[in-house]
Amino acid sequence: MKLEEMKIIVTGGASGMGRHFAEQLHAAGAQVAVGDVNAEGLEALPPGIHRRTLNVASEQECASFVGWAAEVMGGLNGLINNAGIIRDGLLVKKSRSTGEIQKMSLEQLEAVIDVNLIGATLMAREVAAVMIERGTPGVVVNVSSIARHGSRGQTNYVASKAAMAMNTVTWMREWSRYGIRCGAIAPGMVETAMTQGMNQKAKDALVAGIPVGRIGQPEDLWLAVKFIIECDYFNGRTIDVDGGGGMG
């Protein structure tokens, strides 16, 4: 598909990678609707990008947002499922000072699954329903992570991102008959507000394990998203964009 023909939703598009994706699509001539819980970030988006607050963990908000986006853009043929959060911690650990057994809380588990997996699934469902009902070919791009292969201290995040990679295959098999493709990107360590706040020593140690010798930039991930959108022969696969092996 050509970028200028896209009428596409970007979730989590008020900052970070999502914002970069939205800005690049807009600059290429696409119509873009951004949804995010960050109202201030939405207001700071360039003029011409449609924007509205969205909590993807709410089924009602997902359905309402997709209907609104299809109306304001005069159609809908794409989704970048980018919204996500982290609530890191070991599943079980023993305190070195007290010997107390500490566990990842149910809130930590549910919060990440609700946004990263259920929210993304709800958005994909609603977008696909609109495209199928209108007979519109399109593309859904999921954001997984190389953490899906296993990452210490990220049980909840790993579960959500592994599921998104596998649902990319599942949805490809379900939607291909309607002309809807589904692909995914799996970022490694990427320069965002989240990574900028990391302890520098810990950050340097992580970068040292990346074969290309640097942290990823949002533009690196955009190139993979752009490929998925534009390559009509790409379907049901996940592209690792991690510099050769750095964990995300």
Phi-psi region of 153 (alpha: psi -120 to 50; beta: other; left: phi over 0): left
pTM given for the model:
0.94
The CA-based dihedral angle spanning residues 131, 138, 235, 177, taken in that order and rounded to the nearest 10 degrees: 40
| Helix 16-27 vs helix 218-230: crossing angle, to nearest 10 | 50
For the question of residue 178 being annotated catalytic, the response is no
Q: Are 36 and 53 in contact (CB under 8 A)?
A: yes
Determine which of 106-120, 186-200, 218-232 has the lowest per-residue pLDDT on average.
186-200
Q: Identify the pLDDT of residue 246.
A: 52
pLDDT band at 194; cut points 50, 70, 90: low
Nearest to 48 by CA among 37, 62, 32: 32
pLDDT in tens, 127-172: 999 999 999 999 999 999 999 999 999 999 999 999 999 999 999 9
- pLDDT value, residue 245: 81
Beta-bridged to residue 240, according to DSSP, are 186
Catalytic residue among 65, 157, 171, 175, which?
Answer: 157
**pLDDT at 248 (0 to 100):** 42
Per-residue model confidence (pLDDT) at position 209: 87
Find the range with the poorest average confidence among 1-10, 20-29, 126-135, 189-198: 189-198
| Mean pLDDT across 13-19 | 96
pLDDT digits (tens, 9 = 90+) for 47-73: 999 999 999 999 999 999 999 999 999
Percentage above 70 pLDDT, the chain: 98
Report all structural domains of the chain as residue ranges with CATH numbers, in order of start.
Answer: 3-241 (3.40.50.720)
pLDDT over threshold 70, residue 110: yes
**193 CB neighbour count, 10 Å cutoff:** 8
